[in-house]
Amino acid sequence: MQLANAKAIGIIAAIVVVAAIIGVAAMSAGANPVPTPASVESEKLAVVTSVAPITNIVRNVGGDRIQLTGLVPEGVNSHTFELAPSDSIAVGKADLVIINGLHLETDIERVAQAAGKPDLQILRLADSTITRDQWVFDFSFPEEGGDPNPHLWLNVAHAIKYAQLVRDKLVEMDPGNADYYRANADRYLALLQRLDQGIMASVQTIPAEQRKLLTYHDSWAYFAPRYGMKVIGAVQPSDFGEPTPQEVASIIDQIRQEKVPAIFASEVFQSKVVDQIAKEANVQVVETLRDDALPGNAGEPGHTYVGMMLENMRNMIVPLGGNVDALSDIDPADTYTGDL
Ligand SMILES: [Zn+2]
């Protein structure tokens, strides 16, 4: 009996195995195969971006129907960033590369062009947002160097244009998800409009003679004219090194003349020179302005472009004598709807 049982079990086992093989074969040959998560992922438009704020803007439009890779790690100097070999592979596999442009990401552009994929598209957001005669050159980005100040995204009106450009490109390249991208963009654009208006109102609370920015890293060239502030200077020279003693002396003179209550260092660029300037000119130094690193940690609601701008406004407007009440009810969290 035991032998017969063993035999029976063996036959049943064989039937199960054969059935399983037939089942697998039937599934893969079937007219309507059930897609596995892996195949869904590979069907998504592969999008590669550069700095974190731009990655976050793209995420809010593309949601989870694009496969998104941000290349510049947060806290890394985006102006001198160079790709690692693994990043080059991501660029080579991409359908679409979305960068700021205005010569910020020359290394990504070089790799994208070298990938030799005729259908790989590159969307340069800043180049599509302003014309050449609107480029800003200044102390840190001098005209003779040929590279304009690239920091358009700190002007929320420009960030709105970025989101619209991203929406239009995703709709063009992936029309099957057009409605989804448009609905995401509508919600996100409404949030950006509120942010833009809130910053406008908040800057108005700074006494007029104090609406002046002296920063270490020169990120505010496009922000200032939008919101009625004036960039009176930047400390960082065009080679991203330290200024000369003569340059430091003239900055100190300027701060005394302009009577600004605070000057601004940057989260990414640590500099002892700013502390020295603040001490000699007897002004407060705020160390926390950021242009390409999002606050907090991934997954937290404030770890977004909007969250970065809200934090920047608190750190900028309050030390200059204003308040950010007009921004207090803005939720910085991502607004895209997920499928899962
Ligand atoms: Zn920067």
Per mean pLDDT, which range of 2-11, 179-188, 249-258, 274-283 is the poorest?
2-11
pLDDT of residue 38: 54
Spacing, Cα 217 to ligand 1 middle (Å): 7
Distance from the alpha carbon of residue 292 to the mean position of ligand 1, in angstroms: 6
Say what the pLDDT of residue 241 is: 84
Phi, psi of 41 (to 5 degrees): -60, -40
CA of 145 to the centre of ligand 1 (A): 16
CA of 291 to the centre of ligand 1 (A): 6
Quote the ligand 1 centre to 219 CA distance (angstroms).
6
Q: Are residues 47 and 185 in the same domain?
A: yes
Residue 18 alpha carbon to ligand 1 centre in Å: 62
Q: Would you place residue 73 in the very low, low, confident or very high pLDDT band (cuts 50, 70, 90)?
A: confident
The predicted pLDDT at position 45 comes to 97
CATH number of the domain to which 122 belongs: 3.40.50.1980
Distance from C-alpha of 148 to C-alpha of 266, rounded to nearest angstrom? 19
Local confidence band at 13 (pLDDT 50, 70, 90 cut-offs)? very low
Res 19: pLDDT = 44
Instruction: Give, as residue ranges, everything with CB less than 5 Å from ion ligand 1.
Output: 291
Residue 276 lies in domain = 202-327
Distance from the CA of 263 to the center of ligand 1, in angstroms? 17
Domain stop point among 176, 196, 216:
196
Q: Are residues 235 and 275 in the same domain?
A: yes
> For the chain, what is the mean pLDDT?
88
208 domain residue, yes or no: yes
Give distance in angstroms: CA of 282 to centre of ligand 1: 26
pLDDT average, residue stretch 289-310: 94
| 84 half-sphere exposure, CB direction, 13 A CA radius | 6
Structure tokens at 304: 């977004």
Q: Where is pLDDT greater, at 29 or 254?
A: 254
Q: Is residue 340 part of a domain?
A: no
Sequence-distant contacts of 258-261: CB under 8 A, at least 24 apart = 258/212, 258/214, 258/232, 259/209, 259/210, 260/210, 260/212, 260/214, 260/232, 260/320, 261/210, 261/319, 261/320, 261/321
Residues 210, 117, single domain; the answer is no
**Within this chain, do residues 180 and 216 fall inside the same structural domain, yes or no?**
no
Same domain, 192 and 47: yes
Ligand 1 centroid, distance to 167 Cα (angstroms):
25
When pLDDT is cut at 50, 70 and 90, the band that residue 39 belongs to is low
Number of domains in the chain: 2
pLDDT exceeds 90 at position 306? yes
Which tens digit of pLDDT belongs to each residue from 85-111? 999 999 999 999 999 999 999 999 999
* 145-159 pLDDT tens trace: 999 999 999 999 999
Say how many Å lie between the CA of residue 86 and the centre of ligand 1: 24
Averaged over 279-288, what is the pLDDT?
91
Confidence (pLDDT) at 37:
54
Residue 236: what pLDDT? 86
Model pLDDT, residue 41: 65
* Rounded average pLDDT over 111-138: 94
Expressed in angstroms and rounded, the spacing between residue 148 Cα and the centre of ligand 1 is 12
pLDDT at 272: 81
d(CA 313, CA 328): 11
Which uninterrupted H or E stretch holds 93?
A: helix 85-93
- What average pLDDT score do residues 125-133 get? 97
Q: Each residue of 265-274: pLDDT tens digit?
A: 876 776 788 8
Span from the CA of 77 to the centroid of ligand 1 (angstroms) = 7
Asked whether residue 265 is domain-assigned, the answer is yes
